[in-house]
Amino acid sequence: MTKITVIGSINLDTNLRVKQMVKPGETIHAKEHYSAAGGKGANQAVAATRSGCEVNFIGAVGNDAPGKEMLGLLKQEGIDTSGVKVINNESTGQAFITVDDAGQNSITIYSGANSGFNADDVAEKRDLLGQSDYVIAQFETPVEATIKGFEIAHAEGIKTILNPAPAMTEIPSALLKQTDLIAPNETEAATITGVQVRDEESAKKAAAKLHALGVEAVIITIGSKGAFYDYNGQSELVPAFKVKAVDTTAAGDTFIGAMTSILKTDFSNLKEAIIFANKASSLTVQRYGAQPSIPYKKEIEQVD
């Protein structure tokens, strides 16, 4: 069983379903309102767990009702939350998500406790990191904490995966030097490299720039077109599975968690792992909510 440690965010999501996105100065009615567990880190941890991984989590929540609820849900998934810091006088992170009838979303995040842990907190969890095959991180938590986690991982011979979301225009070189695989979507890749990713050709140009920054393996997800990879002299756009999307929330997080669940640490089965991840994401976008939409391994294996 693959063992993963996720360094990342934990949010309570507030979701609104609307016919179309609100315009500046406009007031509209929502068709539905509901809350769900979210946060890119927690989503990726849940996706990996449901795909068959053993998962540890390093992050933070507030000492409040949402924090207790989010921790309880992670524990129900079988995720080890001993690395999650509970912070007094700070609220658990929250995300406010609007989804339109086309399945597109708009997300506003309040970081809250997600900004409240640091490199020292991660260093204290060296034992958790040392048990892992992979360490995964995103950009919804302090980058200094991620750098420390990746440094520890590399010192232990553990592979690192960076999902650079939300995108930074300049990722610290100290982090990129410790990153084995980077997996942005097309928008994030454009922000980082300056290359507008629309197809396989432009994705390869963006990948070349990411390699030049020091990352060995690159995956760029391109929405409904699929996922492009460039590694060890091989590159290809792996097509997505064609489905009707109703909500794209957590699709990228599902991709990361599911892919890592079957990825060999020498990346020799990268294409196979991407196909598996594409299957998982195709299920996620047909459902509403973040973690409620993430599929289980049995469901993924039934996708043709």
**What pLDDT shows up at residue 289?**
86
pTM of the predicted model, to two decimals?
A: 0.94
For the chain, which residues make up each domain, given as ranges? 3-301
pLDDT by residue, tens only, the chain of 304 residues? 999 999 999 999 998 999 999 999 999 999 999 898 999 999 999 999 999 999 999 999 999 999 999 999 999 999 999 999 999 999 999 999 898 998 888 889 999 999 999 999 999 999 999 999 999 999 999 999 999 999 999 999 999 999 999 999 899 999 999 999 999 999 999 999 999 999 999 999 999 999 999 999 999 999 999 999 999 999 999 999 999 998 888 999 999 999 999 999 999 999 999 999 999 999 999 998 899 999 999 999 999 8
Catalytic residues: 253
Q: Is 180 annotated as a binding residue?
A: no
- Helix ranges restricted to H, 77-134: 119-123, 126-130
Residue 297's pLDDT is what? 98
Tell me which architecture the domain covering 3-301 has in CATH.
Answer: 3-Layer(aba) Sandwich (3.40)
pLDDT tens digits for 74-94?
A: 999 999 999 999 999 999 999
Q: What is the mean pLDDT of the chain?
A: 96
The residue to which tokens 């890119």 are assigned: 40
Interatomic CA distance for residues 180 and 157, integer angstroms: 11
- 225 annotated binding-site participant: yes
What was the pLDDT predicted at 279?
A: 98
Task: State the amino acid at position 47 in one-letter form.
Answer: A
3 is in an annotated binding site: no
The pLDDT assigned to 293 comes to 96
Asked if 66 and 92 touch (Cβ cutoff 8 Å), the reply is yes
Flag whether 9 is marked binding. Answer: no
The reply to whether 118 sits in an annotated binding site is: no
Helix 40-50 to helix 65-76 angle, to the nearest 10 degrees? 20
Q: Six-digit token pair at 22?
A: 């609100």
Alpha carbons 46 and 78: distance in angstroms, whole number = 9
278 among the known binding-site residues?
Answer: yes
Q: What is the pLDDT of residue 249?
A: 86
Query: 200, 44, 59, 70: which is closest to 117 by C-alpha?
Result: 59
- Asked if 155 and 192 touch (Cβ cutoff 8 Å), the reply is no
